[in-house]
Amino acid sequence: MQNVMPNPGFGTFRLEGDTLKQSIHAALEAGYRHIDTAQFYGNEADVGAAIRDSEVHRSDIFLTTKVWFDNLEPATLKASVDESLQKLGTGYVDLLLIHWPSPNNEVPMADYLTALKEVKAEGKARHIGISNFTCEQVDEAVNILGKGEILTNQIEVHPFLQNRKLVEHCEQHGIQITAFMPLAVGKVMDDPTLKQIADAHHATPAQIALAWVKQRNMITIPSSTKARNIQSNIAAFDIVLSDSEIAEIAMLDRQERIANPDFAPAWDE
């Protein structure tokens, strides 16, 4: 299961139009083969167009999208997936995620996860998974879908929010972690510890943060609009951190959560 998802992926949150297309082309040229989008991002049509316009064949790209929480009622979920596929211009996605668990369990988890599995059975998604699910919600999801059905839980992970309890819980279930916001929206660039480690490797603090995520056996999906940064992000995966450097980064955890909307679940401490 570890090798199903190409690592790193390219995140497209807040990217649109020509900027998005140029960024995806730069990412594909740099060697990325995993593109991450979502219904909520409002850019699925642009993502699909960029993939079609590239020289990389669709079958060589691992494409992820996510169902927004107001589309979780089963019939609505299925219709929304058809709409996503139409916008993306593809007959299937490689990975289909539930973007957020239903707020206050408004739609029962069994209802929307069963619908998600049915979409997969119809060939519209090669793999299915979850995003922003807590330990308790992961347990419930595994009980509903069965072991081995959930490919990933996509969650916020960076040096300042290491999310160890949830990460270990998912790993016990055989669920791969996908770390979003690995650079803590740029905050890693200003951290003295990461700067010091970066200097030792002739690298940037961003590259150190990405190398750290990789050494924790996670997939990650950094985003950038600059070709130079897109290339340096993928080059970060060649960096190997020492045990002492990993231990220094472990000390940076301060439970600093960036993605925390009012409909978020009750997070694990």
Percent of the chain with pLDDT strictly greater than 90: 99
pLDDT above 70: residue 100: yes
The pLDDT of residue 110 is above 80? yes
Q: Which long-range contacts (CB under 8 A, 24 or more apart) does 195-199 make?
A: 197/241, 197/245, 197/248, 197/249
Give the integer Cα–Cα distance in Å for 80 and 249.
Answer: 40
pLDDT digits (tens, 9 = 90+) for 3-16: 699 999 999 999 99
pLDDT band at 108 (very low <50, low <70, confident <90, very high): very high
pLDDT grade for 269, boundaries at 50, 70 and 90: confident
Task: Judge whether residue 64 has pLDDT over 50.
Answer: yes
Q: What is the mean pLDDT of the chain?
A: 97
In the predicted model, what is the mean pLDDT of residues 168-176? 98
Residue at 214: amino acid letter:
K
Task: Please tell me the pTM assigned to this model.
Answer: 0.97
pLDDT tens, residue by residue, 203-235: 999 999 999 999 999 999 999 999 999 999 999
Tell me if 160 sits within 8 A of 192, measured CB to CB. Answer: no
Per-residue pLDDT reduced to its tens digit, 47-60: 999 999 999 999 99
| pLDDT computed for residue 1 by the predictor | 44
Where in the chain are the domains?
10-183
Model confidence at 134, pLDDT cuts 50, 70, 90, reads very high
Average pLDDT (243-256) is 98
Mean pLDDT, residues 237-251 taken together:
98
Find the mean pLDDT for residues 123-136. Answer: 98
CA 226 from centre of chain = 20
Cα Dmax for the chain: 54
Confidence of residue 88 (pLDDT cuts 50, 70, 90): very high
CATH number given to 10-183 = 3.20.20.100
pLDDT more than 70, % of the chain:
99
**Residues taking part in catalysis:** 41
Q: Cβ neighbours of residue 36 under 8 Å, at least 6 residues apart?
A: 9, 10, 11, 12, 64, 221
Q: Does residue 2 have a pLDDT over 80?
A: no
CA distance 162 to 146: 27
Does 115 have pLDDT greater than 50?
yes
